[in-house]
Amino acid sequence: MVKNHPDSNTEQNLKQLETHIDELIAAYDRLREENKRLRTKQKAHAAERVSLIEKRDAARAKAEQMLNRVKTMEDPHE
């Protein structure tokens, strides 16, 4: 005998599969958005790092200049 309607077990399996696929799609969407936010933060942190390195280098140069002036004042024969 040929059945025209899927039996309840097959229908239940299809519903479970549909639910699982919907959950996977939702998880994918969440992860995609989180990844987007993390990439934005990463770019901001990289820019901040460059800025801090530049400030550090400028402070180091200024400190070296001040030390050289102090050394010059201590030893007037140079």
Predicted pLDDT of residue 6 = 58
Contacts of 18-24 with CB under 8 Å at 24 or more apart are: none
Summarised one tens digit per residue, pLDDT across range 15-73 is 999 999 999 999 999 999 999 999 999 999 999 999 999 999 999 999 999 999 998 98
Rounded to 5°, angle at Cα 27 from 13 and 15? 15
CB-CB contact of 55 with 62 (8 Å): no
* Residue 78: per-residue pLDDT: 56
